[in-house]
Amino acid sequence: MMPLPHLLRALALALIVLFSINLTAQAGPGNKTKGKAPVEKVSKVGQYQGYGEPQYKGYQYSSLYLTMTDSTMIATDVFLPKGIKAGTKVPTLLYVTRYTRSLRAKWPLSWLKNPVLVVVNEAEVKYFTSHGYAVLIVDARGTGASSGRRTMEFSPEEVADGGQVVDWIIAQPWSNGKVGTSGISYGATTAEQLLLNQHPAVKACIPRSGILDLYNHIMFPGGVRQAQFIDIWGFTTRSLDQNDLSVFGKKAKRLIKGIQPVQGDKKKAYFNENLLVHKGNFDVYEGIKVVTCREDKHPDLSRSSNEFSTHYQIERVANSGSAIYRIGGWYDGALTKSIIEGFWNTPNTDKVLIGPWDHGPADNASPWSPTTERGFDIYAEMLRYFDFHLKGIDNQLPNDDKFHYYTVGEEKWKSTNVWPPAYVKDQTFYLSANNSIVYEAKDVQNGSTIYPIDYEANTDSHSRWNSLTTLYKNGPTTYGNRREPSDKLLHYDYAPFETDVELTGSAIAHLFISADATNADVFVYIEDVHPDGKTVYMVTEGMLRGIHRKVAEDTDTYKQIGPYHSYTQADMQPMVPGEVTEFALDLLPISYQFKAGHRLRISIAGADKLHFDSPTERPTQLTLHCSEQYPSRVLLPLAVWE
């Protein structure tokens, strides 16, 4: 049973036996005996971990309804620094959630703690109020104690509400007229979508694990439906919308009464009426069943997921006048792509932080780390950023490099102003029919290999995908030894590296595959095989559904990690059984160091049972082809030698 404190924090988040191949060292990256390591920048991000001195102790709490122009009543919790003097003006941090702004404890716990904070945990509220910030947490329309019914997540009406809340904030006597916004997951996405209003008072935004592209980064990575996550997420939100916390365990049911009503709502008249309306909220899980392509419209909405997605209006974010600091982890579902592509497409993103973390960020998921503790003070990073943009404090923020990232394996922070870093260059590795990887095309052994698809194959229940929502997470996200599942896949090994080799960026796979069906899913894994052959670590992964394999030229108005797939009806192409076709796909971004003596492994699967739906028509086998005509290969972004 999950402990209640873990539960409440998690809600804020409104987942070898080698082939007997004689692999000899060859020319190629990591097999040079001479050469200098590339020039790299060591990040200074850690030097500010103790930044800032508290000015206040504790907070004073109040709640109220803010009435929108269409009469929707938005439940709002207000936290001001305790003891703030009349006439003192402070900046405000705004959080918009659909996971309930706060809860009400049962007696006698309610005597000690009221409200119980959920999405924005109490430590975060105390931290920022103690440093001289007002904090507002609001229930998005149709959730919590707010009125209205949800027609879809991230609706235009929800976005517009945020602008009206900002209007109210800057009219308060304690406001200095400047607003910052943040949140995790759904709250990170609402934080960035607040910028769509282009409100001049919103000066800074820190999305943590935000969703830029609803289709490709959360619902259908690579066009493959992530239905298990959507199902559990939908079940969780439906329970919250009905004020039913029993799904979170006996402790929650025993200690928590439910959603916190707004002060002054006598006899909870508005509260009870709103909960009745929430029962009619849009069912995300049922809605996703009618979606295959980007532009597919739900019959009840007459709009596609694109129209609710941040990427669809990315130019408005870029022109909002708000500075953006994107924070996340390498093991955060497919949401690392949201950080990279957000950085590329919004010049006002002046800072990025990517650690060895999962969703939240919550846990350290590096297989090289001795602990799953995050080990990093993100609040201090946020405070320094908000102090500069909302208080005008000269804390040398503009002198920082823009992009700070952690190299897993090397266990080291680095920084750059461009992504990928300038010292990285794509290197091509070819798959060979003898289950080896070679660096020269001329060394490829021609042939094909049949892989009988194992539909029980999966990436474990502690993977990056499980961290995305509370009931899906099975303890800390861990990436330990996966030798046994790796051995069962179709896999190819490279010769042992003679030097340490750094992979930083997005690997691109070009695989020539045939299947005995008109559709197939292809999952590609980069793995690190230790010298003893008994330990295999996951490095990164990618996937692509066969009907979406066409590479398109139109980039859907925003720059993406390639190869570009439109996922539209127009570009959808059924496979021809037995016919060889190219699967060109990107793998999730990563920065990872292979140690000297370790091997690069490329593994291929046709399913990930625990996390993704398989096609309606299931192929029984995949055949991978390796030859001059069908050069199956993977491009790896590696640090180059001088």
Provide the sign of the torsion angle of the four alpha carbons 23, 24, 26, 28, taken in this order: positive
Q: Is 332 a catalytic residue?
A: yes
- Report residue 381: phi and psi, to 5°: -60, -45
Spatial strand order of the sheet with 116-117 comes to: 116-117, 102-105, 256-259
Catalytic residue among 185, 209, 338, 566: 185
- The b-or-e profile of 426-448 (16+ CB within 10 A means b, else e) is ebebbbbbbbbbbbeeeebeeeb
Query: What does 101-140 look like in DSSP terms, one character per residue?
Result: SEEEEPTTHHHH-SSEE-SS-HHHHHHHHHTT-EEEEEEP
Catalytic residue among 217, 298, 359, 389: 359
CA–CA separation, 17 and 484 (whole Å): 8
CA–CA separation, 378 and 563 (whole Å): 33
Alpha-helix residue ranges (DSSP H) falling in 305-370: 314-318, 336-345
Residue 557 CB neighbours (<10 A):
11
The DSSP 8-state label assigned to residue 6 in this structure reads H
Instruction: Identify residue 74 by its one-letter amino acid code.
Output: I
3-state DSSP of 263-319 = CCCHHHHHHHHHHHHHCCCCCHHHHHCCCCCCCCECCCCCCEHHHHCHHHHHHHHHC
Catalytic residue among 77, 213, 265, 332: 332
Q: Is 63 a catalytic residue?
A: no
Q: Is 366 a catalytic residue?
A: no
Distances (CA, A) of 258 to 122, 261, 266, 282, 386: 17, 9, 17, 21, 33
Degrees (nearest 5) of the Cα angle 379, 380, 385? 95
CA–CA separation, 318 and 551 (whole Å): 27
Q: Which residues, including other chains, have CB under 8 Å from residue 428's CB and lie 6 or more apart? A: 439, 633, 634, 635, 636
CA–CA separation, 344 and 492 (whole Å): 33
Q: Which residues, including other chains, have CB under 8 Å from residue 618's CB and lie 6 or more apart? A: 453, 455, 517
For 94, counting Cβ atoms within 10 Å of its Cβ (0-12 exposed, 13-18 middle, 19+ buried), the class is buried
Q: Which residues, including other chains, have CB under 8 Å from residue 452's CB and lie 6 or more apart? A: 620, 621
CA–CA separation, 61 and 48 (whole Å): 30
Query: What does 378-399 look like in DSSP terms, one character per residue?
Result: HHHHHHHHHIIIII----SGGG
Q: Which residues are catalytic?
A: 185, 332, 359
